[in-house]
Structure 1
């Protein structure tokens, strides 16, 4: 068999492993609030999240193109494929580390960090303009926007329903959370399945099996969406507990507000900007913003601080692992 074909298949395989870990690592993004407020049972929530991820993947083409062609420039052939392989391994390793400790870190920034780290180790070209515009700026802005909008939307919900009967409102918002969690699941698919699609396309382009890193074969959508959905259904219970219970004590109105805000931010970035933002950062900051409407002490800032620490570490940590893995796998490519 052609060595380049073997290398392409190896990169696609490891990209799908990342896709699966992304699913169980980031399942919490879509459903933790619905589970913690008992709007949905865990298995129903996971099933809905898997279906939403599958649907959303087919709307993430712009994000996939950004990942596939806008972040690094790699040499053609097996040497370039080795760089991609090492970078994805770096992302998988960081996903597993943060999952073990129950920290909702960003699979997005793990993947991009791993890819940048392996590219630098190989003395390749990092497109820093694309990184700054499509990764660094959204990484800073999206959590701020999520926090502020979470605060504003929750204030609006409290004012609109200020005279409502609490028991009836909670029941109504549990139903509303079904819709907001579904929207969040689709937004997660738009973002996270698309990143794996971008890696698949990058492998095909570098390996010489297609002429452009912006052309996406239909099978890539279906494969990435299916694997992400399977990973999501497997669940990431450690992180679900952190997001759903440890940041604030969520009730259905807060869960609805947080999910509505986060899904709106995800849709805007995927469909309008084509920016690969972190679903983790977005939903976590929205939860913090919603919680701050009660009182600042309602947010468990110690837990929040650990989460933010994981955010800051993700890019350099995954990048370091990706760089190390480049030297490990280089003899194979």
Structure 2
């Protein structure tokens, strides 16, 4: 029974990773595609490769997911696996709902919400202090930082190129966007693939198939990297339209700045703070920041409001689905 549950958890985790890939493909490439710096297929291929590479660069975020959300240390193996299974069900459900409506919500927070909801429904302790410190605060600070930095850098760039010929400048930034999109895709893999690694690691630890002293097995890293890359290459056209055009019409310079700032925020959180932040929140706020330099009214704040509502609902909605799944499985 326990072996079957582990296999099911691993399969669902990789399924979640795949949905994460196509749900969040827009994070890395929407700006480059909307400014015609890259064609959609070339952009998706590049993003898939960089997602795979980024997923193999570290495990600190995965360790945070595995050890700092729900206390599984004193639960039975069956309870542990049930909680992880239901957390994934909640996260996948929310990913599919928001993808269907074209809303760029956070796969990161849907998974964390799923773990919290399933853990509470399963009667397990939740590390609230760690969640506040490593999830809630970065969730608030990262978008604000993305907006502020993007706004400031864009103002500086506009001043630096104020006398340059517009057509030539646009061509140069369109070329530069190839590098900035790659950097953003690397950051996406670095952040998001590690969440799946953390969930699989949890399941393996519960049944003794992983050693806590040696860390996450290589095969888990490779499988998670492959799943998110495959999902990314399959595309995420609904959300790509929202990020690339519905918030604001981007030009190459603004797309370049939004991607660079987002990549820096993702790297800082992964390597320095070890915090699982949302690539969706970061790039969306950066796009709003560069857009606001044109004029405040240039940003379609109605679309931004709908996105913000999805952000707020993500953790409680995923938690509710996972809690319901936990109760149903427990009764059954």
Task: Give the TM-score taking structure 1 as reference length.
Answer: 0.97
Taking a change above 3 Å as real, the CA distance of residues 136 and 41 of structure 1, as seen in their structure-2 partners, is same
Taking a change above 3 Å as real, the CA distance of residues 194 and 213 of structure 1, as seen in their structure-2 partners, is farther
Q: 1:60 and 1:100 mapped to 2: Cα distance?
A: 31
Find the counterpart in structure 2 of residue 50 from structure 1: 48
Q: 2:214 and 2:286 mapped to 1: Cα distance?
A: 32
Find the counterpart in structure 2 of residue 226 from structure 1: 226
Superposition deviation, residue 209 in structure 1: 1.8
Q: Matched residue of 1:262: which SS?
A: helix
Q: 1:76 and 1:133 mapped to 2: Cα distance?
A: 28
Q: Deviations over 1:96-135 (max 9, x none)?
A: 0000000000000000001100110111111111111110
Q: 1:210 and 1:234 mapped to 2: Cα distance?
A: 31
Q: Does 1:280 align with 2:271?
A: no
Superposition deviation, residue 214 in structure 1: 7.4
Taking a change above 3 Å as real, the CA distance of residues 186 and 230 of structure 1, as seen in their structure-2 partners, is same
Q: 1:264 and 1:203 mapped to 2: Cα distance?
A: 32
Q: Matched residue of 1:255: which SS?
A: helix
Q: Matched residue of 1:174: which SS?
A: helix
Q: 2:231 and 2:237 mapped to 1: Cα distance?
A: 12
* Alignment: residue pair count: 330
Structure 2, gaps ≥5 residues long: none
Taking a change above 3 Å as real, the CA distance of residues 235 and 213 of structure 1, as seen in their structure-2 partners, is farther
Q: 1:206 and 1:73 mapped to 2: Cα distance?
A: 12
Find the counterpart in structure 2 of residue 293 from structure 1: 293
Q: Any runs of at least 4 consecutive aligned residues in structure 1 with deviations exceeding 4 A, and if so which?
A: none
Structure 1, gaps ≥5 residues long: none
Find the counterpart in structure 2 of residue 266 from structure 1: 266
Superposition deviation, residue 207 in structure 1: 2.0
Correspondent of 1:8 among 6, 14, 18: 6
Q: 1:47 and 1:265 mapped to 2: Cα distance?
A: 23
Q: Matched residue of 1:60: which SS?
A: coil
Q: Matched residue of 1:216: which SS?
A: coil
Pairing 1:115-126 to 2, within 5 Å after superposition: 115-126=115-126
Superposition deviation, residue 156 in structure 1: 1.1
Superposition deviation, residue 27 in structure 1: 0.2
Task: Give the TM-score taking structure 2 as reference length.
Answer: 0.98
Q: Aligned-pair RMSD on alpha carbons?
A: 1.1
Q: Does 1:163 align with 2:163?
A: yes
